Every structure is written in structure tokens, then in C-alpha cells.
Copies of this chain bind each other. A is one copy, B any other.
Amino acid sequence: MVYPDTFTGFQVSGPAPAEKLDFTKQEYKPKPFEDYDVDIKIEACGICGSDLHTISGGWGKQHFPLCVGHEIIGTAIRVGPKVTLIKEGSRVGVGAQSYSCLDCRQCKNDNETYCVHQRDTYGALWESTGIVSQGGYSSHVRAHEHWVFPIPDALTSVQAAPMLCAGLTAYSPLVRNGAGKGKKVGIVGMGGIGHFGVLFSVALGAETWVISRSHAKEADAMKMGATGFLATQDKEWNEAHKMTFDLIINTANSLEGFDLGAYLSLLDVHGRFISVGLPEGSGAEVRAQDLLGNGCLIGASHLGSRREVWGESVVL
């Protein structure tokens, strides 16, 4: 069988450490095509840290076999009869989420990433059929139109792909927490999400500082428009900046050896430290005294809304 009956993708059969992973090309049945669905023939797919956390088993039990990948660009080759947001033939992208009910309070308030009925692009069980959603290291992907985004011509597919997860994940907490002119923003970690954090924070007009373990990425950060760079390996790295940051976006992938108090001391009164990563293993210890000196807030952010990708509904 081939499309539209089956999709073809690179799956792993079970959790394993990265060096032992065994990807094999497999055919599998997608969920049934519904009225609001869009089928996309895949052209490019970014590699996200989530992919590794998922197939390593670090995020806990998953449905296997599994094809990961959720920074997908391709062509909309079939649209359901009720689809209005996407035109057949257009270049589109799909990120980490592919479904939300669109009917609950969260969905109606641009918080559809927090919909309790939300389904991820890969690894989500469609209970009625027993089918598990499969990701973008594959021939095709099927997603609800709300989660399919037209891609502007100015961006190549390879540039656009990582924006679908990493880019949106960085952008949403910046705009939701007031990054812009007159604000001082820190980006912790300059990897997949972090480098978008720098680019977007600078573009929004905020004074943007990168906070990293070493100075290895300093030149890159400055090239991206950062105002400055703090390396936590330096003695008293945070001293000169205490109580000066309005917002810190934490993209760090690991909490090991993470001295949360040292980061929080950078925040101005009621400043915010928003994590967008989901590290494996245990959490960080938060001590009341680390929060009391500036009345700061610690939070997290999960992806971003369609409105944050596209403003009002747009058909390219």
C-alpha cells in the first residue's frame, strides 16, 4: 500500500540510548481523514530535542514503534471538505501539536496548547482507532487545519522547519511576558530554542543577553544582535546584573548543577523566569528565599498559539 492508505516513515521500535537507536523505514496507517484535516507531503523536517527525549525513554513510556519529528515543512496535497485555512498545493508547516478541541475555554482564549484534549504530532493515541500519531521523518503527515501554517515565500523550507517547534516555543513566552523596547531579556542556553529566543527578542526591540555555561557561543550571540553575554563559569557572573532583568527565558536542557537562585537574583521585582524546556529526571529545588528578595515568578510555557504564529487566520 502507499499514500493515501499508508504513510512511510523512519521508526524506532523501542526506547534506547541515542547511540543504539535503530531507525527502520516502515509503512503505517494514519488516523482516518476527517473534514478539517490536511494531508502534507513532507519536504523537510527539523530535529528537535523532544525527539531524542522521546525515543530515549527519558520522558517516560511512549507508544512504539514510533516515527518522531515535529518541525515539518511540505505541500498540502489534500484538504478536508471543511478546511478554510489552507489551500491545496500551498507550502505549509506543522509543529509539535496537531489537534485541539477548539471548543473549550483554553482553545477559545488562544491557549489551545493547554487544551486537555490536545494531541501531539507524534506519539498521541487516537483512542477510537488505536492509531498512534507519527511524526515528520516520513513521507506524509495528517493534521487538523488549525495546526497547519502557511509558510511565506521569503523563508526556505530548511529555514522555516525549526521555527515550527523551537521558534514558536521561544516566541510565545517572549510576547506573552512583555519582551520589547525598554525591557531587558535573558536567554538561558543558545541551542535550538535559545538561538530563536535571541533573534526574536532582538527583533522585538528588547535589550537581549545570552546566559550560557561557557563563552563558546559568545561571538555567535553578538552576531545575532545580543547586547551582551554572561558565562556562568565566570566568577561572580551574575553580580553586576542583579535585579536588572525583566524576563529570563530558560531553554536549558538539563537542571543538573543548576543554581536556580543565581539566575533568579538577576530579576527585577516581579520579573519572570520562564522555562520552555522539559528536562528529563527530577525537578529543581525552589527555595522561598530565592523568590522573596525580588518577588519574582517562575513559570513555564508550552509551544504557542495559532494566533502567535499567524495573527488572524491567513490563507496564503
Contact = CB atoms under 8 A, between A and B. Distances in A.
Interface of A: 106, 109, 111, 113-114, 116, 176, 243, 269-270, 272, 275, 277-279, 282-302
Given A291-B299, A295-B114, A283 B282 contact: no
B114 A269 contact: yes
The 4 A-B pairs at the shortest CB distance, nearest first, are namely: A283-B287, A291-B300, A297-B299, A111-B269
27 contacts: A106-B243, A106-B269, A111-B270, A111-B295, A114-B293, A272-B297, A278-B288, A278-B289, A279-B288, A282-B285, A283-B285, A283-B286, A283-B287, A283-B288, A283-B290, A284-B285, A285-B285, A285-B286, A288-B300, A291-B299, A291-B300, A293-B302, A295-B301, A295-B302, A296-B299, A296-B300, A298-B298
Contacts of A296: 299-300
Given A106-B243, A114-B295, A279-B288, 15 more contacts: A106-B269, A111-B269, A111-B295, A116-B243, A278-B288, A278-B292, A282-B287, A283-B285, A283-B290, A286-B298, A291-B299, A291-B300, A295-B299, A295-B302, A296-B299
Contacts of A109: 269
B300 A292 contact: yes
Contact of A297 (B111, B284, B287, B297): B297
Q: Determine how many copies of this chain the complex contains.
A: 2
Nearest to A110: B269
A293 B116 CA distance: 8
Contacts of A299: 270, 291, 295-298
Contacts of A111: 269-270, 295
A111 B294 CA distance: 9
Contacts of A290: 283
B284 A286 contact: yes
A243 to B, nearest CB: 8
Nearest to A280: B288
Given A111-B269, A269-B114, A297-B298, A277 B284 contact: no
A285 B282 CA distance: 8
Interface centre among A285, A289, A297 (most CB of B within 10 A): A297
A303 to B, nearest CB: 10
A120 to B, nearest CB: 13
A270 B299 CA distance: 8
